[in-house]
Each structure stands twice: as structure tokens, then as C-alpha cells.
Amino acid sequence: MSTQTAAPRQRRITAAGIGAAAVVVTILIALLSPWLTPYSAVATNADAALLGPTPAHWLGTDQYGRDVLTRTLEGGRYALLVAFLATSIAVTLGTLVGAVAAYADGWLDEAISRVLDAILSVPAVLALLLIVTVFGQGLWVIVLAVSIVYAPAVARVVRGAARPVVSSGYVAAARARGERALPIIGREILPNVLDTVLVEFAMRASWVVLLVSTLSFLGFGANPPTPDWGLMIQENRTALTVAPLGTVAPIVSLAVLVIGLNLAADGLAKRMGVDRAARAAA
């Protein structure tokens, strides 16, 4: 391998590794946060409101006297939980729909594609706000709403990846043996689009994290006093000039997680040779 080829490969591996490390560290901090600081994330103290950084409060306190560092460390829990659940459901549902559409072809494929296009035409935030307004803002309502919003996009990409597999010789041989559609999809098609599914999971997770935090910022996600990055930004933005770390800390934490997920997804896609844009357009 030439030096020119090795250098870009090394850069890709390094970027993907940095992204994966950022994600792992964020998850570990969110899980271990109750043991990392001596303060409660929800207990208020009016006498200690809007303090700057001190030896006792490294990132200061918010307008309710709550320790900003503690709330920031625990703030990723809600977003990570919703992101994992919603991404898992969206990718699972989208994968099944996309594989069925690719295998069915003909009028059924056309009908599924038109339904997916109709759902994708609605802006994600608008659709989520409508669903949450009608059904409430409970955890499972948000999870299912996010899943419905993102499953069609996953289905489009998986359909594009599955179409060449459907026309392969081993699928034709399975059909000739008289195997039914579902066994063929499960044994022949899905294992051959697993690389695309894994990349979709990593990529969609970053978008879901941003979307969940946006909902919390708008007041439709986590309820006060839950430590959540989007909610922290919304609560502390009015005191930005007095105690800026209450707003800056969750913004930086959210950016690190999203950038980490994107770098990891990009590295995974390049490692597996997945061209998402080409497959989505197929």
C-alpha cells in the first residue's frame, strides 16, 4: 500500500476512533454520574443561585441553585434513553418495510414508496410537535413519535440496498425451491444488508439525539426538574450573561455526543463500503 493511500486511511480510522471514544465516554458518564459528584441534580438551593465557578461548584450553579456540573453529567440520560429506544424501533421497522418493498417489487413496492414519500414530506419537528400535542409528552409517546418520523427514511435506504440482493442468484434459487417470501427475506436478504442497517443505526442515533433535545428545548420533551441538556439550555438561556456555563455546558456536551456519533457512523460506513446516498436513491 502506498504512503498516499495509507495516510487517508489512517485519518479515517483516527476520526472514527475519536467519534466512538466520545460516544462511549458520554454513555459511561451518564451511567456513572450519580457517583461522580456529591450533589443532587434536582435539589434546589435559593441561597446558592447563579454562582460562578468555585471549588465547590466547578461549573457554577443555575437560577435555582442546582449544581451545573451535576446536571450536565446526568443530562445525557434522557436523550440517550430516548435515542436508543427510538432508533432501535425506527431501524427495525424501517428495515422490515424496506426489505419487503424491495422483494415485492411491482405495485406493492410502488404503494409502499408513495406512503414513505408522503411521510417524509412532513418536516420532522412539525410532525413530532403535532403528535406530542395530541397524545401528550410521555416517554413512550416521544419514542414512538420519533420512530414513526425516522422509519420511512431508513426504509428507503434499506430498500435501495436490498434491490440488488433480490435480483441475485441465491434469491432466485430460493424462489425456485418454492420457499415463501418471509423466509427468503429473513435468510437471504436481511443478512446481506446488515452493513447498511448498522450504519443507519449509528447515523439516525445522532439525529434522534438532536431531535429529542430540540423537543425538550421547546418544552415538549423532558419535564422539569429532569436533568436534560435541551431543557437545561431552555431554562438557563435567560441567565446567559450572568451564569453562561449553565447554557454553554449542555451545548458543548450535546455537540460532543452528536459529532462523536457522526464520526463513528462515517467511519463505519467507509469501513463497510456503504454508500448511503446511492442506495437511498435506488
Percent of the chain at pLDDT exceeding 70: 92
Q: Does domain 15-39+51-281 have CATH number 1.10.3720.10?
A: yes
pTM score, whole prediction: 0.84
Query: For residue range 20-47, what is the model confidence (pLDDT) as tens digits?
Result: 899 999 999 988 888 888 998 888 888 8
Query: For residue range 126-178, what is the model confidence (pLDDT) as tens digits?
Result: 888 888 888 888 888 889 999 998 999 999 999 988 888 888 777 888 777 87
Q: Where are the beta strands (DSSP E) in the chain?
A: none
Helix %, strand %, coil % of the chain (to 5):
75, 0, 20
Does the pLDDT at position 11 exceed 60? no
Domain assignments of the chain as residue spans, ordered by start: 15-39+51-281
What's the whole-number mean pLDDT along residues 218-222?
Answer: 85
In angstroms, the CA 75 to CA 86 distance is 18
What's the pLDDT score for residue 13? 53
Percent of the chain at pLDDT exceeding 90: 27
What's the pLDDT score for residue 122? 86
What's the whole-number mean pLDDT along residues 52-58?
Answer: 90
Does the pLDDT at position 9 exceed 60? no
Which amino acid is present at 43? Answer: A
Which of 18, 25, 143 is CA-nearest to residue 73?
25
